[in-house]
């Protein structure tokens, strides 16, 4: 179960990084089932400006006003690789206005200016569902937030982030 203090700290770090950024592109993985989505800060001088989310679980884009979210991958539709890329295309250049985590599971909710929400499953007992970070190396230069197995969240942030 997600620790409240860990959740709040990770949420603040995610909000610091992603709010105001725009969905910028996608990097193709070695195969279906993993996707890396890039975000950039274009309208502000916010640092870091080069951000990404690596998704290794099911995800989808939900309409504005959705109240009932899936609680695990079992409740989510299986998307083809083409359907996933179409969802990314639908969100291209859309600005992030909020980002939050689920209450007891580190599901990731990225809310866009259009009203659409990207929902990324954060529950799995054996593997990391998603990672978010900065830089071009995709391992987090200074920032890394990870949904870890067993419904936990891990964060690596600069020492001066409180």
Residue 55: half-sphere exposure toward Cβ, Cα within 13 Å: 27
Question: Which of 4, 28, 46, 69 has its CA nearest to residue 134?
Answer: 46
More confident residue, 51 or 73: 51
Is residue 147 exposed (0-12), middle (13-18) or buried (19+ Cβ within 10 Å)?
Answer: buried
Its pTM surpasses 0.75: yes
pLDDT tens readout for residues 78-94: 999 899 999 999 999 99
Residue of 140 and 152 predicted with greater confidence: 152
Domain range annotation of the chain: 4-156
**Paired tokens of 61:** 């884009």
Distance CA 160, CA 147 (A): 22
pLDDT classification of 76: cutoffs 50, 70, 90: very high
Give the per-residue pLDDT at 70.
Answer: 86
Q: What is the pLDDT of residue 53?
A: 96
CATH code of the region 4-156: 2.30.310
**pLDDT band at residue 30 under the 50/70/90 scheme:** low
């Amino acid at each position: 179960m997600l620790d409240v203090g860990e959740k709040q700290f990770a949420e603040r770090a995610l909000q610091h990084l992603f709010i105001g950024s725009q969905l910028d592109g996608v990097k193709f993985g070695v195969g279906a089932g993993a996707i890396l989505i890039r975000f950039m800060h274009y309208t502000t001088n916010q640092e870091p400006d080069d951000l990404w989310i690596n998704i290794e679980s099911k995800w989808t884009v939900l309409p504005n006003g959705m109240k009932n979210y899936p609680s695990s991958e079992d409740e989510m539709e299986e998307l083809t690789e083409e359907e996933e890329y179409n969802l990314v295309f639908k969100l291209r250049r859309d600005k992030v206005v909020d980002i939050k985590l689920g209450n007891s599971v580190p599901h990731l909710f990225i809310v866009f200016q259009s009203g659409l929400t990207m929902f990324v499953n954060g529950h799995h007992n054996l593997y990391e569902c998603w990672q978010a970070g900065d830089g071009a190396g995709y391992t987090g230069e200074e920032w890394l937030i990870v949904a870890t197995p067993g419904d936990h969240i891990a964060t690596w942030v600069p020492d001066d982030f409180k």
